[in-house]
Amino acid sequence: MKLILSKFKIIRAGWCAAVVIAILMPAVGLINPLMADDKTYNSLKMFTDVLEELEKNYVDDVNSEALIHNAIKGMVGNLDPHSSFMPPEAFDELQDDTKGEFSGIGIVITMKEGILTVVSPIEGTPAYKAGIQTGDMIIRIDEKSTKDMELWEAVNMMRGPQNKPVHITIIREGEPAAIEFSINRDLIPLESVRSSTLKPGFGYLRITNFRMNTLDDIKIHLGRLEAENNGLKGLVMDLRDNPGGLLDQAVKISDLFLSKGDIVSIKGKQERNSQVFKASEADHDRKYPVVILINGGSASASEIVAGALQDHSRALILGMTSFGKGSVQTVRPLKDGYGIKYTIARYYTPNGRSIQAKGIEPDIEVEYEILEEKEKKMSVFDRMVKEKDLKNSLKPEQAKPPEQAKTQSKKNQRLLDTDQLLHDAQVKRALDILISYGVFSNLNGG
């Protein structure tokens, strides 16, 4: 559930080890007093005094390196829930989140008030199929309590060999007792985009996360939808339970539907960490109306897309208020394979809104619900004779099949069950809005 500023990710190893080296060196005289105020200098002196005291007089031998690492971990971890000091194994795993395939159960987690909490299950993964939900609080993993557990440690415990089960215990709001799950790990696919035609002329685009190839996949899916429907009359973009990902992907995807103005701005303490991302002239005419679906599991990059299109009145936002992660993280490598992830900026929508801890509020609030098929009851009017019932009545003309889009790889052509989608109350409401918009636009030549 992170938003990573990708331009900062590729950095030469060891570049930012200076702060760590200053702490690791027991000789306080090596700390340049010109680089820190008196309070910082005195605090560092206290740190080395405590370390020396423990090394000399603690009842058992102490591991000085472990003590120092724990101190750094506490220093960074207390900044905010998205900042952390990572050992080599955690730093390596971080790279999988945006590009590498891995075996796990498929959930995005965060620390919320010190409790390991599910941001969202990834669609189609073992956790999603098992019934894990946004907001579930994980209290045990394989019988080990998650109290005081590091986020990376929890991730590592839930990843592992394919088909090997992991046992998790959760607490869910509204449930009187804890719920236990035994979930078999599986490969978590890189695929982040799926699509379908809800009704002739109206497309559905599902984006589950923002990875390195998401923009390319979206272009393929939009091209297919537009070709199959001889141009779209409307699009439902589903960002529900999308935990985010890469900032550049969110910007470029927003740019597909905008031709001018700001998309998002980020503001940090350092000028180099502040930037305004602007829309460019569109290379494809996509003027059809868009409805974006969001919920409490929509976070980070997905909130950037929703906020940008909402502020430009380019899309109507439907669903429930989003997660509310309005911060940007960068990743810096340290020496010996260690790394640090920390927050460098807040981001703002085109109208200057910060959604940190607030979220994107929908234009139309609709709760998730599965619509049951109504029993078909024939009224007297249903039984009335129609033109089609008359003997030798002319048959309706058959519509010509639309020209098919060029064949793409199976990965990028994965479709969704339209009937199942139309039983989703939020999708159905979005489609009704798009159809109504088309009807009213055509009235009186509008």
Q: List CB contacts of 257: < 8 A, sequence separation 6 or more.
A: 286, 290, 309, 314, 315
Report helix, strand and coil shares of the chain as percent, to nearest 5: 35, 25, 45
Token look-up 């909490």 returns 117
Q: Which of 97, 217, 262, 311 is catalytic?
A: 311
Residue 230 dihedral angles phi and psi, to the nearest 5°? 50, 45
| Contact between residue 206 and residue 193 where contact means Cβ atoms under 8 Å apart | yes
DSSP β-ladder status, 245-246 and 3-4: parallel
Look up 311 and say whether it is catalytic: yes
Cα radius of gyration rounded to whole Å, the chain: 26
CA–CA distance, 52 with 62 (Å, rounded to integer): 11
Q: List CB contacts of 94: < 8 A, sequence separation 6 or more.
A: 86, 152, 331, 339, 341
Residue 220 CB coordination number (10 Å): 19
Q: Pick the closest to residue 157 from 129, 83, 149 (CA basis).
A: 149
Structure tokens at 160: 């592992």
Is the four-CA dihedral 72, 76, 81, 87 of positive or negative sign?
Answer: negative
CA–CA distance, 67 with 69 (Å, rounded to integer): 6
Q: Which of 254, 298, 300, 327 is catalytic?
A: 300
**In Å, what is the CA distance from 214 to each residue of 19, 49, 190, 209?**
36, 51, 9, 8
Look up 325 and say whether it is catalytic: yes
Q: Which of 325, 327, 341, 424 is catalytic?
A: 325
Tell me the three-class secondary structure of 83-139, residue by residue. Answer: CEEECHHHHHHHHHCCCCCEEECCEEEEEECCEEEEEEECCCCHHHHHCCCCCCEEE
**The residue count for the chain:** 446
Look up 274 and say whether it is catalytic: no
CA–CA distance, 210 with 16 (Å, rounded to integer): 28
| Contact between residue 192 and residue 216 where contact means Cβ atoms under 8 Å apart | no
Q: List, by residue number, the catalytic residues.
A: 300, 311, 325
